Structure 1
Amino acid sequence: MQAFTKQVENFLLHAEKTNRLRSLEAPPENLIDLCSNDYLGLAKHRRIKDALKTGVDLYGGGSTASRLVRGHRGIFAQVERQTAEWLGGEAALFFANGYAANVGALSAICDSSYVAFIDRLAHASLVDGVRLSGAQKVYFRHNDMQHLGELLAKHRATKAIIITESLFSMDGDMAPAGALIDLKTKFDALLYIDDAHGIGVYGDAGCGLSPREADFRVITFGKALGLEGAAIVCSDASRSYLLHNARTFVFSTAPMPAILHAAAVAIELVKGMQGERERLQQVSATIRNAVKDAARMKSSSHIVPLICESEAAALELAGRFAAAGFHTRAIRPPTVKESRVRLSLNSNLTAEQAAQIAGLIGAA
């Protein structure tokens, strides 16, 4: 106990000295959102709110148990079928959130007989899933398909899995889907893609960036779809396997059925939001074009990182945005290697606001 108390004291003291002491803050009501993942503005959409209320009336509050005990409802199966049909897959399995989906699925899919080839900048949930699985973890350089190919050829693993994101949340760049499919095919590897930041925003009817040829496609309902939860789209057999073996599914209380009731509405809304998607891309292009240091701008999306020389500079830039009426957050080590202000754009932004943001970037 004393050793842990000292450990905590040392950690908090170091965090305070380095200005990295974290705190929880409610979003400021008077600032325009430039940092949430509510890309299409659905979190406050009237139909989503109404669906949640109706869902509570229909199903009550909590689900009361895991889905394998008493927590399952027909609405879960309905949304899973709806998700699979929307994304052109055989089946889908719903999880409480994206972290639970990735940790549960990867630790179930892999074991010590696997070699997991994972992008160096992959999300923590993907890394943690591989760690828990016991698979041999091999990093490939970010989005470097030549390096990935060399590693696959070097290891010649009987059981190989390639793990990446479709759209990276800190740099805003996209994985090369075609090259990933080619390498998957050439080396007979599984392909696991997290499409959390692409779903709803890209593709026909908002179906995202992850190719259908991927063995496992993860989407979240907590970003562009305005709710919470996640689903893994895969084959029927893989869904059954995960239902039996993904510990974050088997041993977790099921999400509120009301969430699923609203998710069914969110999917149908997203399909028809092509105008919002186009507006978001236009706004994003305006803001990306304002970034002076083009050589360091990897983004081709609605996530625009403004790389800063130091942590202090990132905090100062976030403060300037706040003074101009925009809510941003400084993202600093150890979350990222280089400090930045990440602009997470949404379709509610107007052309005038985009021009104002571009002006702030130009003056930085």
Structure 2
Amino acid sequence: RSAIEVWVQAVSYSSFYSQLASLSPEVLVEILFSFSSFRIKVESFNKQLSLQEKINKIEQLTSGPVNFGGQINLKDGCDVTYCLLEYYERVNNQSAETPSQIYFGKWICDSQRDVLKKYNLSSRKFIGNTSMDPTLSMIMANMAHVREGSLVYDPFVGTGSLLVSCAHFGGHVMGSDIDYNIITGVGKSSRAGQKYRCREESIRNNLKQYGLEARYIDAFIADASLHDKLWKFSKKGLFDAIITDPPYGIREPTTKLGFKKEPIDDMKPEIEENHIPCKKNYNLNEILCDLLCFAAKYLVEGGRLVYWMPIYRNDYSDLNIPQHERLRLVSNCEQVLNNRVSRRMITMQKI
């Protein structure tokens, strides 16, 4: 829920106050002289403390071996917040009398859980069967180091959930998909009780809904296997981040342009003008290989690729993770889906 700079960690209060008295000079100077007002928050885990118990702990702390500089201010406008955290063991469904772990430090920031409510999929204008959960979308954007001014691309954009998260952090976003219906916002709806998509269902309107339209560049129809024919190559790279959830062929098909049989060489011009290209299967190994090659070529130096990869847990090995000589593996995180199957969020950085 919060990020805290921990200064003391102890298993008893005697050890706690001993460590508090021997804090480094830099920390002591910060406590004594750096702030004109402060407050102390007391939180316990596995045991509920009364208000009076919390007040007693605060008084003991402020009258202990360290003199806290500044005035006590219990409101939000104080200069600094210190946190005293206690963890109590549970024995026979009862909390222990004394804490088994005690932590003390300076509050840095709270989490952004309220943001997840804001971007809840149930209230979003345009969603699909595989729209990424807001929590995972935010984590992916963080892993990609998306910041103000980043240029971000999703080559399997779908309904644009990842673009929304990247735009939230200040990125300028764009994406592509081979699915005509998704990009144009037509066809059957994924919402319960709604047969077809309406005109307002589009990636642009998703970002407009959250006041992020100014960071939306475009979404267009493209074959992810043909990116070399789509983009102009630059030695310096193009994108700060490529972030995507490739199709696995389960709820969304894996396809690319191509003929299942031999192509027709003598197609008449009047037919060719309105011709809809054929598609053929695009297996996951090819998808990931093309994705890494694309990222290695079009990411700026230091830019990041973040993507999901499905695996069978019993057969998994780190050797299964695709590699590229221009990409360094930064992180490999597992999301367990069931006893047999999971997927891994892979983060790579261009070197």
Structure possessing the higher relative contact order (Cα contacts under 8 Å, 6 or more residues apart):
1
> Which has the larger share of helix?
1
Does TM, normalized by the shorter one, top 0.5?
no
Q: TM-score, normalised by structure 1?
A: 0.25
Larger Rg: 2
Q: TM-score, normalised by structure 2?
A: 0.26
> Which has the larger share of strand?
2
